[in-house]
Amino acid sequence: GENVEQHPSTLSVQEGDSAVIKCTYSDSASNYFPWYKQELGKRPQLIIDIRSNVGEKKDQRIAVTLNKTAKHFSLHITETQPEDSAVYFCAAMDSSYKLIFGSGTRLLVRP
């Protein structure tokens, strides 16, 4: 089955700097890669997603890139703000429609 690895587990950046979180997946048939943000005690919420026929997608300060050959995808947050502090999860939907999550990255943006 699908396996998703996520790095780093924790990330601390200065406000205004960029943050990058990387994930790899194992199932070459996986075709959908969403990213979720989870604030403490809250539900995970989708922030951006990408399908396998696209290499990059951007939404304001957030971008996601996908390298199908290498089976990895990354989340990029530019001009980070304190309210970006949260746990971020990557995920991959495999060929049987299961959405498998990475282990999460705790992002801290220092004011």
Partner 1 sequence: GAGVSQSPSNKVTEKGKDVELRCDPISGHTALYWYRQSLGQGLEFLIYFQGNSAPDKSGLPSDRFSAERTGGSVSTLTIQRTQQEDSAVYLCASSLSRGAGNTIYFGEGSWLTVV
Indicate the pairing of strand 19-25 with strand 10-14.
unpaired
**Minimum CB distance to partner 1, residue 26 (Å):** 14
Can you tell me the distance from the alpha carbon of 54 to that of 50, in angstroms, rounded to the nearest whole number? 7
- Which of residues 34 and 80 has its CB atom nearest to partner 1 in the complex? 34
**Minimum CB distance to partner 1, residue 13 (Å):** 21
Residues that bind partner 1 (CB under 8 A): 1, 31-32, 34, 36, 42-46, 49, 51-52, 89, 93, 96-104
Question: What HEC string does 97-109 produce?
Answer: CCEEECCCEEEEE
Q: Say if residue 107 is exposed, middle or buried (CB neighbours under 10 Å; 0-12, 13-18, 19+).
A: buried
- Which of residues 72 and 78 has its CB atom nearest to partner 1 in the complex? 72
**Minimum CB distance to partner 1, residue 99 (Å):** 6
**Minimum CB distance to partner 1, residue 14 (Å):** 24
